[in-house]
Protein backbone atom coordinates (compact mmCIF):
# COMPACT_ATOMS: atom_id res chain seq x y z
CA UNK A 1 0.00 0.00 0.00
CA UNK A 2 1.33 3.45 -0.84
CA UNK A 3 1.95 5.76 2.07
CA UNK A 4 1.75 9.03 0.14
CA UNK A 5 -1.75 10.56 0.29
CA UNK A 6 -1.88 11.28 -3.45
CA UNK A 7 -0.90 7.71 -4.34
CA UNK A 8 -3.51 6.39 -1.91
CA UNK A 9 -6.12 8.62 -3.53
CA UNK A 10 -5.39 7.18 -6.96
CA UNK A 11 -5.33 3.64 -5.60
CA UNK A 12 -8.74 4.19 -3.97
CA UNK A 13 -10.16 5.55 -7.22
CA UNK A 14 -8.79 2.60 -9.13
CA UNK A 15 -10.13 0.01 -6.69
CA UNK A 16 -13.62 1.54 -6.55
CA UNK A 17 -13.81 1.88 -10.33
CA UNK A 18 -12.73 -1.73 -10.80
CA UNK A 19 -15.32 -2.98 -8.30
CA UNK A 20 -18.12 -1.07 -10.04
CA UNK A 21 -17.00 -2.04 -13.55
CA UNK A 22 -16.53 -5.71 -12.71
CA UNK A 23 -19.55 -6.09 -10.45
CA UNK A 24 -22.17 -3.56 -11.60
CA UNK A 25 -24.89 -5.50 -9.80
CA UNK A 26 -23.44 -4.35 -6.44
CA UNK A 27 -22.65 -0.75 -7.47
CA UNK A 28 -25.66 0.48 -5.50
CA UNK A 29 -24.05 -0.89 -2.33
CA UNK A 30 -20.96 1.35 -2.65
CA UNK A 31 -21.37 4.31 -0.27
CA UNK A 32 -21.78 7.50 -2.29
CA UNK A 33 -19.52 9.35 0.15
CA UNK A 34 -16.66 7.08 -0.97
CA UNK A 35 -17.22 7.95 -4.62
CA UNK A 36 -17.21 11.65 -3.72
CA UNK A 37 -14.15 11.30 -1.48
CA UNK A 38 -12.02 9.58 -4.11
CA UNK A 39 -13.48 11.77 -6.91
CA UNK A 40 -11.73 11.59 -10.29
CA UNK A 41 -13.05 8.68 -12.34
CA UNK A 42 -15.38 7.70 -9.49
CA UNK A 43 -17.56 10.71 -10.30
CA UNK A 44 -18.54 9.05 -13.58
CA UNK A 45 -20.66 6.67 -11.51
CA UNK A 46 -22.67 9.46 -9.86
CA UNK A 47 -25.64 11.18 -11.52
CA UNK A 48 -25.48 14.96 -11.99
CA UNK A 49 -28.07 15.71 -9.30
CA UNK A 50 -26.06 13.72 -6.77
CA UNK A 51 -22.86 15.58 -7.70
CA UNK A 52 -24.73 18.87 -7.25
CA UNK A 53 -25.83 17.74 -3.78
CA UNK A 54 -22.24 16.95 -2.79
CA UNK A 55 -21.00 20.26 -4.22
CA UNK A 56 -23.56 22.11 -2.11
CA UNK A 57 -22.51 20.06 0.89
CA UNK A 58 -18.85 20.99 0.35
CA UNK A 59 -19.83 24.65 0.06
CA UNK A 60 -21.70 24.46 3.38
CA UNK A 61 -18.74 22.72 4.99
CA UNK A 62 -16.38 25.42 3.72
CA UNK A 63 -18.68 28.20 4.99
CA UNK A 64 -18.89 26.62 8.42
CA UNK A 65 -15.12 26.21 8.52
CA UNK A 66 -14.58 29.86 7.55
CA UNK A 67 -16.97 31.00 10.30
CA UNK A 68 -15.49 28.64 12.91
CA UNK A 69 -18.86 26.93 13.21
CA UNK A 70 -19.39 23.22 13.87
CA UNK A 71 -20.33 21.11 10.88
CA UNK A 72 -22.02 17.72 10.92
CA UNK A 73 -21.55 16.13 7.48
CA UNK A 74 -24.30 13.53 7.92
CA UNK A 75 -26.86 15.98 9.29
CA UNK A 76 -26.20 18.53 6.55
CA UNK A 77 -26.35 15.81 3.91
CA UNK A 78 -29.71 14.68 5.22
CA UNK A 79 -31.05 18.26 5.23
CA UNK A 80 -29.85 18.88 1.68
CA UNK A 81 -31.32 15.58 0.50
CA UNK A 82 -34.68 16.43 2.04
CA UNK A 83 -34.75 19.89 0.46
CA UNK A 84 -33.74 18.42 -2.92
CA UNK A 85 -36.54 15.84 -2.70
CA UNK A 86 -39.01 18.54 -1.75
CA UNK A 87 -38.13 20.60 -4.81
CA UNK A 88 -38.62 17.64 -7.18
CA UNK A 89 -42.09 16.74 -5.88
What pTM did the predictor assign?
A: 0.82
**pLDDT score at 86:** 75
pLDDT at residue 89 is higher than 70: no
Number of H helices, E strands in the chain: 4, 0
CA distance 76 to 65: 14
Residues 6+ apart with CB under 8 A from 53: 77, 80, 81, 84
Average of per-residue pLDDT across 8-20: 93
Question: Which sequence spans correspond to the domains of the chain?
Answer: 5-88
How many Cβ atoms are within 10 Å of 77's Cβ, its own excluded? 17
Burial of 24 (0-12, 13-18, 19+ CB in 10 A): exposed
Q: Among candidates 40, 70, 39, 76, which has minimal Cα distance to 56? A: 76
Contact by Cβ (8 Å): 48, 75 = no
Write out pLDDT tens, residues 32-85: 999 999 999 999 999 999 999 999 999 999 999 999 999 999 999 999 988 877
Amino acid sequence: MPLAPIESQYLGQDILCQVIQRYPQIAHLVPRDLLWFFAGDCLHFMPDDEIELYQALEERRYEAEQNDEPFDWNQEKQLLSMSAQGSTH
